[in-house]
Amino acid sequence: MKIHGSNQPKVNPYQKQLQQYTQTRTEKQVKADQLHISDQAKKMQELNGIDPARKQRVDAIKADVESGVYKVDAEQVAKGLLSFWKN
């Protein structure tokens, strides 16, 4: 009994796998991430400036936090959480 007879095809079983690997590897190198921002989104970014009153309030809170004077009102926070989770 011959194990390697003349009717055996000369095929490397790993050749197809190697070809797929190299093909996917080259495809990954060619593709690049892209970001597209629509014209409408660009307009929204231009229109949404920082509200001066909000900026002033944020700056005041930052100053209080940095100086160590800022205190959190636990009752107000609890009410806000409850109203958020009830809706």
Q: Which residue has the higher pLDDT, 6 or 63?
A: 63
Range of the domain at 81: 49-86
Instruction: Look at residue 58 and tell me if it is in a domain.
Output: yes
Q: Return the residue matching tokens 């929204």.
A: 44
For residue 5, being part of any structural domain is answered with no
Is 23 part of a structural domain of the chain? Answer: no
Q: Cα–Cα distances in Å, from 75 out to 56, 58, 71, 78?
A: 24, 21, 12, 5
pLDDT digits (tens, 9 = 90+) for 3-45: 665 555 566 667 777 777 777 766 666 566 788 999 998 888 8
- Domain count of the fold of the chain: 1
